[in-house]
Chain A
Amino acid sequence: MDVLTDNLSLYGQGLWGTVQLTLLAGALSLALGVLIAGFRVSPVKALRAFGTGWVTVLRNTPLTLLFFAALLGLPRFGVVLPFTVFAVLALGAYTSAFICEAVRAGINTVPTGQGEAARSLGMSFRQTLSLVVLPQAARSVISPIGSTLIALAKNSAIAGSFSVTELLGTYKPLGERGFSVIWSFVWIAVGYLIVTLALAGIFGLLERRFGVPR
């Protein structure tokens, strides 16, 4: 217990870092993921091919490699940004591939009659997708997107090893201050459980309020 009470500010900083990373990267991945999902169902072949390529490559890239390339490679390239920004970009891009697949699966659950009705009203592809299909798809993808974002929160732990302030990274200063390693890890684990359970709770509420059975 001492480990937590004596280092409350350190843990607080770490937890806040993890929450920040999760929120920022989550927002980025949602925006990118929905956009790429739109590409993947669009009538333009080039856009479809781009979407497929994006998803295939990112889904098969180890996240650690992506971090390595972004945080250590890009600065050699003349791109100098704070490490947190690189971490958000890497996490956001990686997660966007999974969000895209979830959204695409959601689009496929919308009955074809909806799209056909929209088209027979003279709507364009963009109108059909954004006004008719996506709002309905959104209600069926709440829980898959929730579990993807929970995975994102867990993956953000990797950022700690690349000198970004977040929860897992707190084990180091704690060890230097001579606190028990096992207990410092127990509280780190509790911190992650708080974040993931909070996310699960939020998405559970959303699912109950807006969700439809798939």
Chain B
Amino acid sequence: MTAGTESASALYDIPGPRALARHRRYAWITGALLLAAAGFVVYKLVDTGQFSVVKWRPFAYKGIQRLLLTGLANTLKAFGWAALASLVFGVVFAAGRLSDHRAVRWASGLVVEFFRAMPLLVMIFFIFIALRLDPMLSLVIGLTLYNGSVLAEVFRSGVNAVPRGQREAGYALGMRKTQVMTYVLVPQAARSMLPAIVSQLVVALKDTSLGYLITYQEFLYSGKLIATNLDYDLPFIPVVMVIAPVYIGMCMLLSWCAGRLARLERRSPRSKAVPVRTELPQEI
């Protein structure tokens, strides 16, 4: 493949004039289809009266705005606590899984695998309904157990991915296991794990919206309170149009940070000298 073209793809030839014309035709067709779809959506929106003043008026009220902002603050609060707690949980259980004692290793492995295998919502419901904790606490504990377990795996695989020579060199210098861990392995692993950690935080942020299902007064729940109000003619679609961009924007910002960290990491001369590859978790 010659340099200078837009792709290094092995899947197709560099398009000649006729292929380019064909591609342009495809581009037009794609654009037209998307435009038609968008047009249909807008037509439907107008047709079902989604832009009526009644449905949008609530967003001009101070009380409604405050309700939405409180919801957003609650979402961020749950996210912050959950992120902090899952990092701690992850560190503790990763240390457990890397322990020299078989019983500790086995027990932490069991805990981590169990919480990774359970649906998050089942755990949250269990804590909320069976243990009768309050919604915020149930949400934060559920998020911590799940994301903490995933992070424990990330930490473990990160530490294990540091080349063996590093550990052996540490021991050869007479370091203890804890010293090898804290001075040699963890600093190198941490750098490579950072993108994986941040993308797991995106998952945690997305999953705070599960709080809606256990009546935690978070962002989506505030939206639902507005959307089910008969006075405003049930503005479901306007609420979605206001809430979705905020949620997606927040998550995209965090995802972008993760991507940027990964790029920086790949370019850093330190990681070129001793490459440490951490396996990325399934961010779903």
Contacts and interface: CB of A to CB of B under 8 A. Distances in A.
A60 B212 contact: no
Nearest to A160: B121
Contact of B243 (A47, A65, A78, A107): A65
B244 A128 contact: no
A171 B26 contact: no
Given A115-B11, A125-B12, A151 B26 contact: no
B240 A63 contact: no
B206 A73 contact: no
Interface residues of A, number: 62
- The B contact surface, by secondary structure, is helix
B213 A60 contact: no
Interface in A29-87: 41-47, 50, 56-57, 59-65, 68-69, 72-73, 76-78
Q: Which of B9, B10, B118, B223 has the most CB of A within 10 A?
A: B10
Chain B interface size band reads: 35 or more
A141 interface: no
A65 B222 CA distance: 12
Contacts of B31: 46
B117 interface: yes
A168 interface: yes
B282 A151 contact: yes
A13 interface: no
Interface string A126-145: 00110001000000000010
A193 interface: yes
A188 interface: yes
Interface stretch (B176-184, B185-193, B245-253, B267-275): B245-253
A192 B119 contact: yes
A98 B284 contact: yes
Nearest to B249: A60
Interface of A: 41-47, 50, 56-57, 59-65, 68-69, 72-73, 76-78, 95, 98, 107, 112-116, 119, 124-125, 128-129, 133, 144, 147-148, 151-155, 157-158, 160-161, 168, 171, 175, 181-182, 185, 188-189, 192-193, 196-197
